Amino acid sequence: MEATTERKHGVPTLAKPTIALLRIALAAGWQDFRAAPAFGLIVAVLCLLAGWGLVGLTAWAGHTFWFVLGVFGFPLAAPFAALGTYEVSRLRGLGEHPSVRRVIHVLWAERGRQLPLLCALMMVMLLFWFFLGHMIFALFLGLKPMTNIMSSASVFLSADGLMMLGLGSVVGAVFALLLYSICVIGLPLLLDREVDYVTALITSIGFVAAHFWFMLLWAAFIAVVLMIAMLPAFFGLLVVLPWLGHSSWHVYAALRSD
């Protein structure tokens, strides 16, 4: 049997995370990106085009609603984009060559396993965030005249705009924390081991709860770096997204002690 299909059963023992572990994971993630950039760049280009699509939708619809939700919702969807980079790093860790075709083959083979179930749950949560964000936006700014970011930015500084941003940020933070808690260990665990998605979900949430402040620091780092990467017309994602994806796998791999 090929090494890519051999998977141990059960949840591995997870070590206590440290700052040194994060530094090593970030360095290893950068090495993976430099050694095998193809798949990460393909995914990053798709995300870049999606970002431009949001800008185009904003211009077409004449409202900033879609752009605001997209910007704040992108970090919630980033784990989906990272799946391929997880597999690249996993294959490199096994001493194998992670060609684009091979990574796609492995991810396609996952369709009959547990990973799609966890991804479906995450997608439902992401769609619910868009729905709830739309409700919050409409509640506070539904009657405000808005055309685009450049001509309507001042509306966000009004009393209603500030209340919308405040409530939306709190609700978005709750969704982000829950999604992060589910996927930070759950997604790489399902790629690495033969476990069901409920076990992966519980393991991931339990690990985040047990090391809350440290894992919150890692989440904040990811969110801030992604936001900065989106500032120059989303071009920063071409480097940051693959790098963080590879690094996230190495965080899990370093925590796994067996």
Host H or E run for residue 194 = strand 193-194
**Nearest partner of 31 among 206, 249, 253, 247, judged by Cα:** 247
Which 3 state secondary structure label does DSSP give 149? Answer: helix
The Cα 205–Cα 210 span in angstroms is 9
Tens place of pLDDT per residue across the chain (258 aa)? 344 456 778 889 999 999 999 999 999 999 999 998 988 888 888 877 876 776 666 666 555 555 555 555 555 555 666 788 898 999 898 888 888 888 888 777 777 777 777 777 877 777 777 778 778 777 776 655 544 444 555 666 677 777 777 887 788 788 888 888 998 999 899 888 889 989 999 999 999 999 999 999 999 999 899 888 878 778 888 999 899 999 999 999 999 876
Residue corresponding to tokens 């059960």 = 10
**Nearest partner of 88 among 108, 77, 102, 76, judged by Cα:** 102
Alpha-carbon Rg for the chain, nearest whole angstrom, is 19
Which 3 state secondary structure label does DSSP give 8? Answer: strand
Burial of 6 by CB count in 10 Å (0-12 exposed, 13-18 middle, 19+ buried)?
exposed
pTM: 0.79
Backbone angles phi, psi at 46, to 5 degrees: -60, -40
